[in-house]
C-alpha cells in the first residue's frame, strides 16, 4: 500500500511541474467566464457572408483595400452595417453613388448593397461612327437622314453639294455624279451612284378593231389601257394627246384608260369625215413621257384605233 501511494505522489508531482512549466512559457488567463457573449457578436454565417461580398468587390477593383477597421473590436450586426457603409470607391466616391450598377448580397438577418461605378466600356458615340452612304440614284431627288449631332457634308465627285444639319433630314438632288461622299466630324465614307433606268410605255388593246369594225362599236368605250413602267413615276410628266379622253385607272400608279372621241356622231358626219381618207380608217393618239430631271430619258409611243365603216 505504501508503494502505491508513493507512485501516485510521483505522478501528481510530475503533472504539477508540467503545468507550472507551461504557464511560465506561454502565460495563461484562466477564468470561468464565457469567452464571448453570443448575443453580442455577429453570427458566423453573417460574418462569412460579409467577407464574401467584400472579397468580391475588391476583386472587381471597386474598393480601396486600405479599410480602417478595428480588428480588436467585437462587432454587432448593426455595427457591421455601419462598417460597410464607410467603404469607399477607389476614386474616393461613396459606394452608395446613384449613377452606378448595383451588386447585392444577402445573408441571414442582413442585406448589403454595393453600387459601384458603371461599366467603363462606353458605346461608340454617334460622332465616332463611320457615316454610311446609302444607295443613291442619278437624276432624281434622294432623301438623306443625318443621325449625327454634327453637321453632315455631302460631296459629289469631290465637289460639295449640300450640308445636312445635325439630327435632321434633307433632300439631295443627284444629277450625273458618279461618287457620293459623306463627311462628318473628320470621318468619311463614299459610294458610287446607281444609274436611273428609263421609263417604259405599255399599251394594251381592250376591244377588237380592224377593217371590219365599225366606228360605233369602238367609240365611247375604253379601247386601250396605257401603263407607264418606272421606279420613279413621281419624276415623270405624262401627256396623252389625240381625239381621245383619258381616265386614271389607278390613283397611285400611272395607269390610264383611253376612250376614242371622234367628232363624228352621225352617218352623214362620218361620210364627210372619211371622204378624203382611205380604208381602213385610223385614228391615233400619242403618249408622251418626260423625265423632270433628265431629258435623255424622255420617250413617246403611239396607239391606233382602226375601223372600216360607220
Q: Cell numbers 413615276 label which residue?
A: 233
Q: What fold does the segment set 140-192 form as a domain? A: Immunoglobulin-like (2.60.40)
pLDDT at site 60? 57
Q: What is the pLDDT of residues 51-73, one digit of tens each?
A: 666 666 566 555 554 555 566 66
Angstrom distance (rounded) from CA 284 to CA 260? 9
pLDDT at site 130? 83
**Full-model pTM:** 0.56
Q: What fold does the segment set 200-307 form as a domain? A: Immunoglobulin-like (2.60.40)
Q: Cell numbers 376612250 label which residue?
A: 259
Sheet containing 236-241, strands listed edge to edge, beginning at the edge strand earlier in sequence = 236-241, 281-291, 299-307
Which regions in the chain score pLDDT beneath 50? Answer: 32, 65, 88-124
Q: What is the pLDDT of residues 151-202, one digit of tens each?
A: 999 999 999 999 999 999 999 999 999 999 999 999 999 999 999 999 999 9
pLDDT at site 83? 62
Max CA separation in the chain (angstroms) = 173
Q: Cell numbers 442585406 label which residue?
A: 111
pLDDT at site 10? 66
Q: Cell numbers 384608260 label which residue?
A: 257
Amino acid at each position: 500500500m505504501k508503494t502505491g501511494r508513493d507512485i501516485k505522489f510521483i505522478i501528481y508531482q510530475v503533472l504539477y511541474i508540467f503545468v507550472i512549466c507551461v504557464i511560465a512559457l506561454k502565460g495563461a488567463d484562466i477564468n470561468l467566464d464565457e469567452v464571448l457573449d453570443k448575443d453580442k457578436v455577429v453570427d458566423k454565417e453573417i460574418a462569412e457572408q460579409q467577407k464574401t461580398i467584400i472579397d468580391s468587390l475588391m476583386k472587381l477593383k471597386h474598393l480601396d483595400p486600405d479599410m480602417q477597421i478595428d480588428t480588436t473590436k467585437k462587432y454587432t450586426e448593426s455595427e457591421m452595417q455601419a462598417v460597410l457603409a464607410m467603404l469607399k470607391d477607389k476614386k474616393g466616391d461613396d459606394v452608395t453613388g446613384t449613377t452606378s450598377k448595383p451588386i447585392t448580397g444577402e445573408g441571414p438577418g442582413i442585406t448589403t448593397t454595393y453600387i459601384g461605378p458603371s461599366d467603363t466600356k462606353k458605346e461608340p458615340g454617334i460622332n465616332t461612327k463611320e457615316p454610311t452612304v446609302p444607295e443613291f440614284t442619278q437624276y432624281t431627288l434622294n432623301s438623306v437622314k443625318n443621325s449625327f449631332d454634327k453637321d453632315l457634308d455631302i460631296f459629289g465627285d469631290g465637289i460639295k453639294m449640300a450640308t445636312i444639319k445635325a439630327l435632321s433630314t434633307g433632300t439631295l438632288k443627284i444629277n450625273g455624279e458618279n461618287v457620293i461622299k459623306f463627311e462628318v466630324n473628320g470621318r468619311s465614307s463614299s459610294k458610287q451612284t446607281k444609274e436611273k433606268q428609263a421609263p417604259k410605255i405599255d399599251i394594251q388593246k381592250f376591244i377588237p378593231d380592224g377593217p371590219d369594225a365599225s366606228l360605233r362599236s369602238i367609240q365611247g368605250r375604253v379601247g386601250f389601257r396605257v401603263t407607264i413602267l418606272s421606279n420613279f413615276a413621281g419624276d415623270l410628266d405624262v401627256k396623252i394627246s389625240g381625239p381621245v379622253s383619258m381616265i386614271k385607272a389607278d390613283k397611285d400608279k400611272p395607269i390610264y384608260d383611253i376612250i376614242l372621241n371622234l367628232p363624228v356622231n352621225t352617218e352623214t358626219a362620218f361620210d364627210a369625215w372619211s371622204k378624203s381618207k382611205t380604208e381602213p380608217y385610223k385614228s391615233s393618239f400619242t403618249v408622251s413621257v418626260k423625265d423632270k430631271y433628265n431629258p435623255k430619258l424622255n420617250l413617246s409611243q403611239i396607239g391606233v384605233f382602226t375601223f372600216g365603216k360607220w
